[in-house]
């Protein structure tokens, strides 16, 4: 049985996982023939919570535990922290400039800022998992995935929770968050802390755990296809109409809804401006021979990844739901092919 499980792991890892986006879309679309879309969405939200609580923290635990941090890796960790912080600083500056340009009022400005900042988070632990299997990329890809996970599932929710609590004090009828969103940042970070502590204490990896290590790697490997299936299921056929694409591109002259301007700006920030800025920065470092090619590839690809679908769980913190949903959809549709192309090209040249 263990041998069978071990033989399956390569087929639920790497680029083999990407078709699960299409599977999720096709299955969800087929189910609309028999069930209302609202019922399907409710069911998928429950499945998403299971992934969020039962799979993602364990995956991050395994990545931290299997990635010993030496001096070389420590330098890369510093670059990763600076990169992720820089991405959010870039999003803050971008959002602030749009707020001033369009003269958004206090409540709208606050909503826009939180929505833009949150949607700078990327699907590194999902689509980016394809990089773990490429020779020479495994350690840096694992480090980036782990720290993006900390930012997405601990730092950002904690910050949003703090802002939400402050905003609710200003309301006559405060909206209370569900308990599972309040505790999740602490729940998630406990797995990362435990992994680092155990790794430093024992010096072991899951490959030293025998059959249990194989079972753990199999369990965490399931996270990627499950999450990508969830991403695909969130793409609705109505979102793929030519008219929707024209609205995204700003080609529909009759469209005056502020919503599409927000979606377009978020898409440009995440899919165009951010990857170009960091490609330029780390391209220069590569040319100057300050960083190896594998680091350049991992960082650039991670900055070009689509927006994480788990941002939909953060909507109760005070995000714009429609803008977040449409941004995730179009970011996924356009950035996933770009990511696959970059992985293919960079794996050949770097």
What pLDDT, on a 0 to 100 scale, did the predictor assign at position 299? 92
What pLDDT, on a 0 to 100 scale, did the predictor assign at position 162? 76
- Pick the residue with more confidence: 34 or 172? 34
> What whole-number percentage of the chain has pLDDT above 90?
18
What pLDDT, on a 0 to 100 scale, did the predictor assign at position 161? 78
Report the distance separating Cα 147 and Cα 12, nearest Å: 22
pLDDT band for 255, please (50, 70, 90 cuts). low
Per-residue pLDDT of 275-289, as tens digits, reads 999 999 999 999 999
This prediction's pTM: 0.84
Report the distance separating Cα 233 and Cα 43, nearest Å: 11
What pLDDT, on a 0 to 100 scale, did the predictor assign at position 284? 95
Report the distance separating Cα 27 and Cα 25, nearest Å: 6
- Pick the residue with more confidence: 11 or 221? 221
Rounded mean pLDDT, 75-96: 93
Nearest alpha-carbon partner for 126 in 149, 103, 147: 149
Report the distance separating Cα 24 and Cα 43, nearest Å: 13
pLDDT band for 171, please (50, 70, 90 cuts). low
Most trustworthy range by pLDDT among 27-36, 112-121, 238-247? 112-121
Q: Which tokens hold the place of 40? A: 């399907």
Helical axes 223-233 vs 37-50, angle rounded to 10°: 160
Rounded mean pLDDT, 292-321: 86
CATH code for the domain defined by 2-349: 1.20.1530
Residues 323 and 130: beta-carbon distance below 8 Å: no
Most trustworthy range by pLDDT among 175-179, 277-281, 316-320? 277-281
Name the residue ranges covered by the structural domains of the chain.
Answer: 2-349
pLDDT band for 319, please (50, 70, 90 cuts). confident
The single residue listed with the structure tokens 């300050």 is 290
Q: Is the pLDDT of residue 254 over 60?
A: no
What pLDDT, on a 0 to 100 scale, did the predictor assign at position 276? 95
pLDDT band for 222, please (50, 70, 90 cuts). confident
């Amino acid at each position: 049985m263990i041998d069978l499980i071990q033989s399956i792991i390569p087929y639920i890892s790497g680029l083999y996982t990407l078709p699960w986006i299409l599977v999720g879309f096709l299955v969800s679309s087929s189910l609309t023939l028999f069930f209302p879309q609202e019922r399907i969405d409710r069911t998928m939200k429950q499945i998403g919570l299971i992934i969020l609580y039962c799979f993602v923290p364990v995956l991050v635990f395994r990545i931290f535990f299997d990635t010993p941090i030496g001096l070389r890796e420590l330098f890369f960790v510093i670059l990763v922290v600076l990169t992720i912080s820089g991405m959010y600083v870039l999003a803050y500056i971008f959002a602030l400039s749009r707020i001033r340009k369009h003269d958004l009022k206090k409540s709208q400005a606050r909503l826009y800022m939180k929505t833009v900042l949150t949607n700078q988070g990327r699907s590194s632990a999902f689509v980016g998992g394809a990089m773990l299997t490429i020779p020479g990329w495994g350690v840096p890809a694992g480090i980036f995935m782990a720290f993006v996970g900390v930012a997405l599932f601990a730092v950002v929710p904690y910050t949003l929770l703090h802002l939400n609590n402050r905003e609710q004090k200003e309301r006559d009828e405060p909206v209370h968050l569900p308990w599972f969103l309040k505790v999740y940042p602490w729940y998630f970070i406990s797995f990362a802390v435990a992994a680092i502590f155990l790794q430093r204490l024992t010096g072991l990896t899951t490959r030293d755990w025998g059959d249990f290590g194989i079972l753990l790697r199999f369990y965490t490997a399931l996270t990627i296809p499950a999450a990508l299936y969830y991403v695909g299921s969130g793409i609705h056929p109505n979102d793929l109409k030519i008219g929707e694409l024209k609205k995204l591109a700003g080609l529909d002259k009759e469209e005056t809804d502020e919503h599409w301007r927000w979606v377009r700006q978020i898409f440009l920030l995440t899919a165009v401006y951010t990857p170009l800025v960091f490609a330029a920065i780390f391209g220069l470092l590569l040319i100057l021979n300050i960083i190896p090619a594998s680091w350049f590839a991992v960082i650039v690809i991670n900055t070009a990844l689509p927006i994480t679908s788990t941002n939909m769980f953060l909507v109760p913190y005070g995000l714009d739901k429609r803008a977040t949903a449409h941004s995730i959809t179009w970011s996924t549709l356009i950035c996933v092919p770009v990511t696959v192309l970059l992985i293919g090209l960079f794996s050949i040249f770097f």
